[in-house]
Amino acid sequence: MERDFLQIIQKNQGIIHKVCNIYCDTDDDRSDLFQEIVAQLWKSFPTFREESKVSTWMYRVALNTAITTFKKSKRRPDQNLLTYENFQIVDEAYDTETEEKIKELHKAINYLTGIEKSIVLLFLEDKKYEEIAEITGITQNYVRVKMNRIKKKLKKFMDTEA
């Protein structure tokens, strides 16, 4: 069982990293969240019945863990605000204008709620509404409604920042 679990984590660790990157602004916080997600995955591994894809199960556990951690951190008065400088994206394929737009998008995403961040992350991962609904535990119709509201929120925020 332990070997199977480690293989799944190794093969799909990108999911955990993506969730950690969207919810945390420092390397230490990302590392802590990564460890917490792996611990939660290990706890729930014996009950994973393979009725859904491994990636769906991992996203669900990772996002629930991140949201819980995110809610706890929101209660702390000493929380630092994220700045777009925290999201330096280096890729030679991007031009300066594209990089600035990505920074603006990440800055805007920071102001979303925990569930909204989850939906955006999955949407940006090209997940279908049906899979987003399964991962987040909300109805497919509500995912569509939330996504439309999120798009408006992000557009409004990015338009005011421009």
- For the chain, the domains span 1-79, 81-162
Contact 158, 104 (CB under 8 A): yes
Residue whose structure tokens are 């799909």 = 12
Token pair, residue 103, equals 């920074």
pTM over 0.75: no
Measured over the CA atoms of residue 132, residue 133, residue 138 and residue 142, the dihedral's sign is positive
For domain 81-162, give the CATH number: 1.10.10
Contact 119, 132 (CB under 8 A): yes
What is the pLDDT tens value at each position of the chain, 162 positions in all? 889 999 999 999 999 999 998 888 889 999 999 999 999 999 999 988 888 899 999 999 999 999 888 776 655 544 455 454 554 544 454 457 777 887 888 888 888 988 899 999 999 889 999 999 999 999 999 999 999 999 999 988 888 876
Among candidate residues 60, 31, 24, 27, the one with its CA nearest the CA of residue 132:
60
Choices 3.40.50.300, 2.60.120.10, 3.40.50.1360, 1.10.1740.10: CATH for 1-79:
1.10.1740.10
